[in-house]
Amino acid sequence: MVRQKHTPLLLPLVAAIAAAPVAAQDIPSERTVVGVTLAARGAVEALDLIDMDSRSLTRRSDVFDADALVTGEGSQAQVRMVDDSVLSLRSNSELIIAEYEFDEDTEEGRAVMELVSGGLRTLTGRLSPEDGDADYELRTAVGSIGIRGTHYEVVQADDELFMAVWDGEIEVNVTAGDQPSTVILGPQNDYAFASVSSDGTVTFYLEPPDIFADGFAEEDDEAQDGIEDEEATDDDSSEEDEDSEEGPDLLEDDEDEETVQLSPDVLVTISSPAADPEGDRITILNLPTPPSVVADRSGTATFNDLMSIDLAGTRTDYDVTLSFDVNFTRGTVDGGQLELVSPSDGDRWLALFEGGIIGNELMIGPVIGENQFNFASHNDQPAEGSMSGQFFGPGADRISGSFDLNQIADPSVNVSGDYTVGEQ
369 pLDDT above the threshold of 50: yes
pLDDT at 2: 40
29 pLDDT above the threshold of 90: no
Question: 410 and 283: one domain?
Answer: no
The residue among 287, 315, 335 that closes a domain is 287
For the chain, the maximum distance between any two Cα atoms, rounded to a whole number of angstroms, is: 73
Question: 252 and 303: one domain?
Answer: no
pLDDT tens figures, 240-265: 444 333 333 322 333 344 443 333 33
Which of the pair, 238 or 117, is modelled with greater confidence? 117
The residue among 240, 266, 287 that closes a domain is 287
**CA–CA separation, 327 vs 338, rounded Å?**
18
329: domain range? 292-423
Question: 278 and 304: one domain?
Answer: no
399 pLDDT above the threshold of 70: yes
82 and 103 in contact (C-beta within 8 Å)?
no
What number of other Cβ atoms are within 10 A of residue 22's Cβ?
A: 20
- Of all residues in the chain, the percent with pLDDT exceeding 90 is 33
Question: 320 and 409: one domain?
Answer: yes
- Res. 271 pLDDT band, cuts 50 70 90: very low
Which of the pair, 31 or 175, is modelled with greater confidence? 175
Question: 103 and 167: one domain?
Answer: yes
**CA–CA separation, 173 vs 152, rounded Å?**
16
Question: 211 and 252: one domain?
Answer: no
**CA–CA separation, 421 vs 307, rounded Å?**
5
Domain count of the chain? 3
Residue 393 half-sphere exposure toward CB, CA atoms < 13 A: 12
- Domain of residue 354, CATH code: 2.40.160.90
Question: 39 and 80: one domain?
Answer: yes
pLDDT at 214: 54
3-state secondary structure string, the chain?
CCEECCCCCCHHHHHHHCCCCCCHHHCCCCCCEEEEEEEEECCEEEEECCCCCEEECCCCCEEECCEEEEECCCCEEEEEECCCCEEEECCCCEEEEEEEEEECCCCEEEEEEEEEEEEEEEECCCCCCCCCCCCEEEECCCEEEEECCCEEEEEEECCEEEEEEEECCEEEEECCCCCCEEEEECCCCCCCEEEEECCCCEEEECCCCHHHCCCCHHHHHHHHHHHHHHHHHHHHHHHHHHHHCCHHHHCCCCCCEEEEEEECCEEEEEECCCCCCCCCCEEEEECECCHHHHHHCCCEEEEEEEEEEEEEECCCCCEEEEEEEEECCCCEEEEEEEEEECCCCCCEEEEEEEEEEECCEEEECCCCCCCECCEEEECCEEEEEEEEEEEECCCCCEEEEEEEEEECCCCCCEEEEEEEEEEC
**CA–CA separation, 141 vs 159, rounded Å?**
9
273 pLDDT above the threshold of 80: no
Which of the pair, 337 or 38, is modelled with greater confidence? 337
Question: 159 and 263: one domain?
Answer: no
Full-model pTM:
0.49
- Domain of residue 71, CATH code: 2.60.120.1440
pLDDT at 52: 80
Question: 185 and 282: one domain?
Answer: no
48 pLDDT above the threshold of 60: yes
pLDDT at 302: 97
**CA–CA separation, 57 vs 43, rounded Å?**
8
Q: What is the mean pLDDT of residues 29-56?
A: 85
* Most confident segment among 62-71, 99-108, 177-186, 338-347: 338-347
The residue among 199, 219, 239 that closes a domain is 219
Q: Across the chain, what does the average pLDDT equal?
A: 77
pLDDT at 388: 92
Question: 135 and 83: one domain?
Answer: yes
220 pLDDT above the threshold of 60: no
**CA–CA separation, 233 vs 245, rounded Å?**
18
pLDDT tens figures, 9-24: 554 554 454 444 444 4
pLDDT at 224: 41
pLDDT at 122: 85
pLDDT at 149: 60
Question: 103 and 182: one domain?
Answer: yes
Question: 160 and 253: one domain?
Answer: no
pLDDT tens figures, 129-171: 554 444 788 888 888 888 766 788 899 887 899 999 888 888 8
pLDDT at 309: 92
